[in-house]
Chains A and B, each alone.
Chain A
Amino acid sequence: MKPLLLRLLGARTLPVWLWCFQLLAGQAHAQSGPPVTQFTLANGLTVIVKADRRAPTAVHMLWLRVGAMDEVDGTSGVAHVLEHMLFKGTAELKAGEFSRRVAALGGRENAFTSKDYTGYYQQIPSARLEDVMRLEADRFANNQWADGEFAKEIEVVKEERRLRTEDNPRAMMSEALTAAVFVASPYRRPVVGWMSDLDAMTADDVREFYRRWYVPANAAVVVAGDVDVDQVRRLAEKYYGPILARPVPSRKPRIEPLQAGQRRLEFKAPAEQAQVTLAFKVPGLNEPADAVAPGASPEDALALTVLAAVLDGYSGARLDRTLSQGAGRLADNVWAYNGLWGRGPQLFVLGGIPAPGKTAAELEAALRAQVARIASEGVTEAELTRVKTQWVAGEVYKLDSVFNQARELGSHWVQGLPLDAGERLIERLRRVSAQQVQAVATRYFGDDQSTVAVLLPQPLDPNRKARVPAAAMRH
């Protein structure tokens, strides 16, 4: 660390660098928090424990390494529907009883599905850990419900799709963009599923998905908070241990072919403001080299994350300052982010809302020009230090949330990363140099790996009658 800091100390007024030194030096201590323990049961289930005694509460999570990317066309959305159906009963419990029992324990609970994973959690007073482990292990192993429960819940899921996507033009455009970016990768499908797939889904589709993927070796239990490892080990053996081992299904690779030319799409929707989104295919941190393009290196994912932060990591960062401030501004809002890692292919996204009187085309050109400027001129040490300072500080703030720490542990497990992947990431990000940032700005932002979507606002007709859905097509 020291040589780097001595170099930096001469660059600007002393006080700023002194603060950063304090912050960055602080990282050398065990600011990353208490140690994490991981072990595997005989049936293949992974258990991860992080003790934190600040308060007499704990979080218990069950993670499945299965998500929307493991679905097939025709039954998109089934992973998320199954997540809903996990609440609908077991051999012992009626529909809704699981939630009633968790509530009676004083617990808060929910679940979530993404492209990469499905997760279930309860936050409880730590004295209730055994109760929720018993309940969760039971529904993991013994989920069952009558067809009538599915018939009701699939309608709830359709309402969720209407709420999150269909009445949200920008979400609809994002869905269309994703389907255009990826042609073979299962990332192309929305997590909630296409509406026609939801209309056509059967109860047995869901049961089949459950039997196939909800096996111990495809799952991890994460427990964090006012707990200790021996206690969790004993409870995990008792409740999850007896679940029969079954093989984890093989997964088809479904590799996204190399993109060889720009894709563009227009999306018409009722709105006042246009929007432009540019998605660039980039390496993920854990991918094999060359997955995206010859010469691409997974290490570039780190520099791309730093690039995104320099562009949009704080108010008044590059994009904001240049494009969305002042009377002649091109944008009312701009953003940049890098996917960094996941089970599937990653993207770097630039986007913005044009200011009144400006066009999506102008904004698209300006966004790319900002990246091109970094490609030719690089970034300053001040900018680099600024974004790294925020990350380091963020690691301290993260200690205030046991829930967020548990969530991170689960998502790292899903990707097969080591327990300290979070800390290692921060350390690796801090080592990214200005030269590396300039290099990725040069390498990954050509036309050939890009997809551009433009939202064309359509006027609302407030007097048009509300929609009545087409009858579900069943053949």
Chain B
Amino acid sequence: MGSALAGIPIERWVQASGAEVYLVASPAIPMLDVQIDFDAGSRRDPPALAGVSGVMAAMSAKGVLAGGPAEPALDENALSEAWADLGASFGASAGGDRLSFSLRTLSYPDLLARAAQLAARQMGQPAFPETVWQSERERLKASLREANTRPATLAARAFSRAVYGSHPYGQELTEATLAAMGVADMQAVQRTLLPCRARVTLVGAIDRPQADALVRTLLARLPAGADKACPALPPVPEVAALAQASEQRIAFDSAQAQVLFGQPGFARNDPDFFALTVGNYVLGGGGFVSRLTAEVREKRGLTYGVYSYFSPGLHAGAFTVGLQTRPDQAGAALQLARDVVARFVAEGPSDAELRAAKDNLVGGFALRIDTNRKLLDNVANIAAHRLPLDYLDTWTQQVEQVTVAQVRAAFARKLQPARMATVVLGAAGPAATP
């Protein structure tokens, strides 16, 4: 098995500006995927402006400023047409940790050059037109109000607040923060996008010299740090552990009840990462074959989907167990899921379960890296968390080395079933009230 997989050659270098570049050449198809990540995710949103990074990301597509005599300004429609005419796509999004710009383009030289310039303009010289913002704000407000009629949205919000408290990972866009934010706030986010903070991942039909030149072009219009200064950004606090269990029972009329429970999990650089990843596959991450699916869905038919997952980021993202079920079954399903989790934390997996997890994760490793898109996600992840460049080459060994004792110990360190936050929305019968 090992011999069938050559190592994934990832080249990494740092440009004079401080931008880090990661390249996997994949020449077979004349296309290129590029992801440019900045430390400007929603964890950096001021509480009164929660959601501003995501809004800035969306608004960056609404037009670009003039770039010189040969580069007239482009309004949102001209910009969008320009991308369509290139057969390419470019967009931005904000997660908890990162603000990401993503480019997908054909690699024919003339097209690629045009795509690079356009992307550079959109990242470096977005217009953030005030009139468009006014309309967008109204659209977002209406969309928020609609989302607030949905049971899954309301349950997720209650859970997030219970787990994260005041930590920025639990913040979200609201009508109040929408009303408070303006173009100046988006420009403020955009000014933090310095080349020295950029981590650029490229996968596709391109070589190193071409990639180096391309990245220079992409970042050329970003604000330059004065004297190549790269001021440190303020630290973000860690997610606090929960001091005690909490339960919210929320009345709602819907066809299904929403059940969520969990707590802060772990950060990506935690040494328990592999033990927790392998262990969660057994508990609730392994799809049809997980313990939660076996108990709640397969044996009892209580739900279509039950899952558990960690969301490790720069901070301890939540550990979440979730399911939906008929309202009169919510109590039973919740108790069952809690029992499964508690038992797993106390006992860990069996030898057979651990073997099965490894068979899947190790045996199926090639499926994690068999497209340009998957490679891009993996390498951008390596960049984001400063994982070693041979991370993909040693991944299967790391999984193989995990023991039952390690899983048990890691789960005992990380999860406290007696102190989790629980949300049940839309239950009927005894589960409807505490």
Contacts and interface: CB of A to CB of B under 8 A. Distances in A.
Given A463-B251, A466-B426, A123 B367 contact: yes
B151 A167 contact: yes
Interface string B245-268: 000000111111100000000000
A96 B432 contact: no
B381 interface: no
A273 B146 contact: yes
Interface-central residue, A95, A156, A462, A466, by most chain B CB under 10 Å: A466
Interface string A152-189: 11111111101100111100000000000000000000
B84 A386 contact: yes
Interface in A375-409: 385-387, 389-390, 392-394, 396-397, 399-402
B351 interface: no
A458 B77 CA distance: 35
Interface stretch (B47-55, B188-196, B302-310, B387-395): B302-310
Contacts of B106: 23, 26, 393, 396
Contact of B76 (A19, A162, A315, A467): A315
Contacts, number: 245
A96 B4 contact: no
A401 B365 CA distance: 17
Contact of B255 (A166, A402, A462): A166
B80 A270 contact: no
Q: Which of B255, B297, B426 has the most CB of A within 10 A?
A: B255
A466 B256 CA distance: 9
Contacts of B83: 314
A402 B29 CA distance: 12
A272 B175 CA distance: 14
Contacts of A124: 364, 367
Nearest to B154: A462
B251 A272 contact: no
Interface in B1-17: 1, 4-5
Contact of A57 (B138, B152, B370): B370
Interface string A321-347: 100111101001100000000000000
A19 B28 CA distance: 21
Contacts of A446: none
Contact of A356 (B104, B142, B257): B142
A401 B1 CA distance: 23
A168 B139 CA distance: 20
Most chain B CB inside 10 Å of its own CB: which residue of A396, A463, A467: A467
B150 interface: yes
B397 interface: no
Interface stretch (A103-111, A198-206, A412-420): A103-111
A119 interface: no
Interface residues of A, number: 89
Contacts of A159: 256, 301-304, 324-326
A465 B84 contact: no
Contacts of A460: 149, 253
A42 interface: no
Given A20-B85, A127-B4, A390-B84, A327 B356 contact: no
B25 to A, nearest CB: 13
B142 A95 contact: no
Contacts of B327: 466-468
Contact of B139 (A19, A156, A332): A332
A467 B253 contact: yes
A23 B142 contact: no
Given A106-B367, A327-B134, A400-B29, A156 B303 contact: yes
Interface in B337-387: 356, 359-367, 369-373
Contacts of B81: 314, 316, 386
B113 to A, nearest CB: 10
A152 B295 CA distance: 12
A255 interface: no
Contacts of A156: 297, 301, 303-304
Enumerate the 5 nearest inter-chain pairs by beta-carbon distance, A residue then B residue, closest first: A106-B363, A393-B87, A106-B364, A55-B370, A152-B301
12 contacts: A19-B86, A103-B356, A105-B363, A124-B364, A163-B304, A167-B254, A314-B83, A326-B135, A327-B135, A402-B370, A463-B251, A466-B252
Interface of A: 15-16, 18-20, 22-23, 26, 31, 54-57, 87, 95-96, 99-100, 103-109, 123-125, 127-128, 151-160, 162-163, 166-169, 270-273, 313-316, 321, 324-327, 329, 332-333, 353, 355-356, 385-387, 389-390, 392-394, 396-397, 399-402, 460-469
Given A107-B360, A166-B256, A314-B80, 16 more contacts: A19-B110, A22-B108, A103-B289, A105-B364, A106-B359, A107-B367, A124-B364, A155-B302, A162-B324, A166-B255, A270-B149, A270-B253, A325-B76, A327-B134, A332-B143, A467-B253
